[in-house]
Amino acid sequence: MSATTKTRTAAEGRTASKPAQASAATRLLGDRRLPVLVTVGLFLAMYIAGISRYQNYGFGEPQVFLNLFIDNGYLLVAAVGATLVIMSGGIDLSVGSVIGFTTMFTAWLVEEQGLPLLLVIPLALGVGAFGGFLMGYVIHNFEIQPFIVTLAGLFLFRGLCLVISKESISISNSTVSSMAQTRVSLGLGELSIGALVALVVVAAAFYILHYTRFGRRVYAIGGNEQSALLMGLPLGGTKIAVYTVSGFCSALAGLLFILFIQSGDPLHGIGMELDAIAAVVIGGTLLTGGSGYVLGTLFGVLVLGLIKTIISFEGTLSSWWTKIATGVLLGAFILIQRAMTARKQT
């Protein structure tokens, strides 16, 4: 074989390998599971690094892992509601305010009005769900952007907190104290009632999104609202239902936050809607809607909780590093989402 023939053959081989590499990258970025897999890998890497660095401080103990659920159960429930909204192509900025209002509303009814806790719980959940229903109704029927409507909901519920009381209300109810201190043994460690409730909510949301018509409608509407409308899907009912569920989850998160802190305060939950959205995005749900997994949101919350735990074990870092790390991760995952959506458009 001549030198010219060898050179041509080598050049053709390199040219053929480039499309193969490009197609592999395209397939990788086109895989909807990519962000979730990245999140799971990130969590495992952080956890292994924590065990390696803090092995002499008990970081590897099972209870330290279970504490991620205990300390972040309320955020997990709020993030599940936010996941449904974002999957449908919307956004809910009222989450933190509904959580704060629920703590104030519950504390006021239990401590100052003397109502039994078993009556107050469904009332609080009902108010949260009704608030979500109203926002969903306005968004759909008046065709107003979810950002504006839920921003109004944010101010409304935060203002209602101050109407109830400008001061914190401590909850001394024996039932609340008992529930807050109750732990369920799992052999290797313990979980709180709030953590168990959060896991039940995740399991229920997973089933609803992947095995019911409602879940398929949420994905369809988030993927392409006009196509979903042409397919005859109940656009309005699904949208309203999604925001109702988000309001319900926010109120439930407020009740779990009460078990965690045992008080109501007008300042509770400030900024928590941003934490919930960050957990959803880090968990792999596309901000444009139509793609995401509840289990991804679970790992997104665990990643945020693990950041706090590592900073706590480090001891020399300010708590503000939690926000810095969250911002860096959020930016990275938004870039991944951008690359994925760009590949779909080409």
pLDDT of residue 7 exceeding 60 = no
Higher-pLDDT residue of 298 and 8 is 298
**Res 346: pLDDT:** 57
Number of structural domains the chain divides into: 1
**Res 336: pLDDT:** 83
Contact 171, 41 (CB under 8 A): no
**Res 145: pLDDT:** 95
**Res 18: pLDDT:** 53
Helices (H), the chain: 3-30, 34-53, 62-87, 95-107, 117-141, 146-164, 174-181, 193-211, 213-223, 225-230, 235-261, 272-282, 294-314, 320-345
Letter string b/e over residues 254-282, b meaning 16 or more CB atoms within 10 A of that residue's CB: bbbbbbbbbbbbbebbeebbebbbbbbbb
Find, among 157, 177, 180, the residue nearest to 269 by Cα. Answer: 157
How many Å apart are CA 192 and CA 185, to the nearest integer?
9
Residue 171 lies in a domain: yes
Confidence of residue 25 (pLDDT cuts 50, 70, 90): low
Task: For 84-139, give the DSSP string.
Answer: HHHHTT-----HHHHHHHHHHHHHIIIIIS---HHHHHHHHHHHHHHHHHHHHHHH
Residue 198 lies in a domain: yes
pLDDT of residue 299 exceeding 70 = yes
Residue 9 lies in a domain: no
**Predicted confidence (pLDDT) per residue in 87-105, tens digit:** 999 999 999 999 999 999 9
The percent of residues in the chain predicted with pLDDT above 70, rounded, is: 90
For range 67-95, the mean pLDDT: 96
What's the token pair of residue 19? Answer: 């499309």
Weakest mean pLDDT among 16-25, 75-84, 197-206, 302-311: 16-25
For range 175-182, the mean pLDDT: 93
**Res 193: pLDDT:** 95
Residue 102 lies in a domain: yes
pLDDT of residue 3 exceeding 90 = no
Residue 72 lies in a domain: yes
Q: How far is CA 100 from CA 173, 307, 322, in A?
A: 19, 24, 22
CATH number at residue 327: 1.10.3470
What's the token pair of residue 181? Answer: 């201190």
How many Å apart are CA 326 and CA 281, to the nearest integer?
11
For range 69-91, the mean pLDDT: 96
Owning domain of residue 269? 34-335
**Res 345: pLDDT:** 59
How many Å apart are CA 338 and CA 44, to the nearest integer?
24
At 212, phi and psi to the nearest 5? Answer: -130, 160
How many Å apart are CA 152 and CA 243, to the nearest integer?
14
Residue 228 lies in a domain: yes
**Res 188: pLDDT:** 86
Contact 177, 192 (CB under 8 A): no
Our CA angle for 245, 95, 138, nearest 5°, is 65
**Predicted confidence (pLDDT) per residue in 42-52, tens digit:** 999 999 999 99
**Res 2: pLDDT:** 53
**Res 117: pLDDT:** 94
**Predicted confidence (pLDDT) per residue in 217-274, tens digit:** 999 999 898 898 888 889 999 999 999 999 999 999 999 999 989 999 999 999 999 9
How many Å apart are CA 217 and CA 28, to the nearest integer?
26
Residue 97: exposure state from Cβ atoms within 10 A (0-12, 13-18, ≥19): buried
Residue 23 lies in a domain: no
What's the token pair of residue 64? Answer: 């330290």
What's the token pair of residue 278? Answer: 């960050």
Residue 346 lies in a domain: no
What 3-state DSSP class applies to 190? strand
Confidence (pTM): 0.90
Q: How far is CA 251 from CA 75, 103, 120, 127, 273, in A?
A: 11, 9, 12, 8, 13
pLDDT of residue 172 exceeding 80 = yes
Task: Centre a 10 Å sphere on the Cβ of residue 243 and count the other Cβ atoms it contains.
Answer: 31
Fill in the DSSP letter of residue 57.
G
Mean pLDDT of the chain: 89
pLDDT of residue 75 exceeding 90 = yes
For range 142-160, the mean pLDDT: 96
